[in-house]
Structure 1
């Protein structure tokens, strides 16, 4: 997350998120637009790099809608926590109004969400160190907590806000509760304005067993583990369409 004590000039002023409640009330759209702006090349490069390696897997496991809602709402949570902490703690309040921009909170939400869903999935860090997702996420969160003591510590609160949403959302998702359904409905309504609505017929049909090329003697979790192992060894592109579909379907029952 990037912040600038001296303020952001010109057009960025109208799209970056400000720590002042008054400014936010005047520019409510900034709670969304700030996460699509960045202060430097390396700022956006780092966020894109992390998002690239996590978003695809997250999308395959939990679905496209879930991926988008986690990203956007994670950014919202980061901005809200940033606003609250800046005006609640005297240390930050005395710093004056501080504009913020960057997708770090949104990316953090997706990353922590993925780690919550597949905590024991192992990744190769820098191509050398093998580490489980849960430990990688815990390390990132720990660095942000430590960073709160720095002069720009206020920005780390935004990261933690995103991390909280990623963990909270996926924890409920695994229990069969989609707490972001309201956001998905909102997006569906927006799409409805841009194209002619089609009549949607909802009906129940008998549950049918899906044909699978996997052995029926193996449990669903074992099959999912096999696919995750394949991803770890050969990457996402090595999966067949059937495997991706099975992974997505299994995510609804885990």
Structure 2
């Protein structure tokens, strides 16, 4: 059955699984390959790509790979290898950008608040956020809520293929809006053109409200926006791709 999956989708699944197992066996990879806020001392340029292949738990990677398996093959066959890869990676980059754009907004607010307190050394927070030197130690400095929020933003990591996969889902919904998909707890299949907007609105609310439960909901939105835009651009020429 696995050999029947188109090659790009199959190889993406394989790479994700291999990286997940490698990070499980070598936990230090989690630090080097996860995505960090671009102005954090933990950020490295390659993380804008490698974070897409990292996952925080077994359920996380299982859900993402099952979703990719469900939607990816149809798009790979419709778009062709090149455009399918462009869709996947640009969606992942869009996820990284939007997630960190919101991070930038919040960090600017916290920094402005801390500047009003002359007793707070913001530079020290940045220095102590360097986990290669100090590890993760949120109690290493004066514990006001704003200082802690800033520290956690600088040490927080972004992992997972979810942004790229949301781009795949959004592209699928744009190209095949009448397709019906099954949803847990709903007894009948629902058209994907109705499901995606609800998911996106929910993700925006959870991402902005801070009730996301440690999930990068705005990354999902960023990936979906890129997937939607690319599919709209390509839709008129769908049958010319190959």
Q: Deviations 1:121-180 (Å, cap 9, x if unpaired)? A: 22333593221111121222122122121344771111111000000111111244xxxx
Q: How does 1:13-28 map to 2 (within 5 A)?
A: 13-23=31-41, 27-28=44-45
Instruction: Kindly indicate whether the alpha-carbon contact (under 8 Å) linking 1:18 and 1:100 is maintained by their aligned counterparts in 2.
Output: yes
Query: What is the total number of aligned residue pairs between the two structures?
Result: 171
Partner of 2:189: 130
Higher relative contact order (CA 8 A, sep 6+): 2
> 1:1-254 alignment to 2 at 5 Å?
10-23=28-41, 27-89=44-106, 90=109, 94=150, 95-97=152-154, 98-126=156-184, 128-148=187-207, 149-152=209-212, 155-176=216-237, 251-252=239-240
Which deviations, in whole Å up to 9, do the C-alpha atoms of 1:171-228 show, x marking residues without a partner? 111244xxxxxxxxxxxxxxxxxxxxxxxxxxxxxxxxxxxxxxxxxxxxxxxxxxxx
Question: Partners of 1:111 and 1:63 in 2: how far apart?
Answer: 16
Name stretches of at least 5 consecutive residues in structure 2 with no aligned partner: 1-26, 111-145
**Residue ranges of structure 1 left out of the alignment (5+ in a row):** 1-8, 177-249
1:39 touches 1:101 (CA, 8 Å); kept in 2? yes
Distance 2:183 2:86 in 1: 27
* TM-superposition CA deviations, 1:60-119 (whole Å, max 9, x none): 221222221111111011111112210113379734312111111000000001101111
Aligned to 2:126: none
3-state DSSP class of the match of 2:153? coil
Root mean square deviation, CA, Å: 2.4
TM-score by length of 2: 0.64
Instruction: Say which one has the larger Rg.
Output: 1
**Worse overlay, 49-58 or 154-163:** 154-163
Structure 2 Cα separation of the partners of residues 51 and 154 of structure 1: 18
TM (norm. structure 1) is 0.61
Identify if the C-alpha distance between structure 1 residues 16 and 61 changes in structure 2 by more than 3 Å, giving closer, same or farther. same
User: Greater helix share, 1 or 2?
Assistant: 2
* C-alpha separation in 2, matches of 1:125 and 1:105: 20
Whether the 8 Å contact between 1:78 and 1:161 is mirrored in structure 2 is: yes
Q: Distance in 1 between matches of 2:165 and 2:84?
A: 10
SS, match of residue 189 in structure 2 = strand
Cα distance in 2 for partners of 1:175, 1:70 equals 16
Instruction: State the alpha-carbon separation in 2 of the partners of residues 71 and 44 from structure 1.
Output: 16
3-state DSSP of counterpart to 1:96? helix
Q: CA deviation at 1:22?
A: 4.6
Aligned counterparts of 1:71 and 1:135: Cα–Cα separation in 2 = 22
Tell me the equivalent position of 1:235.
Answer: none
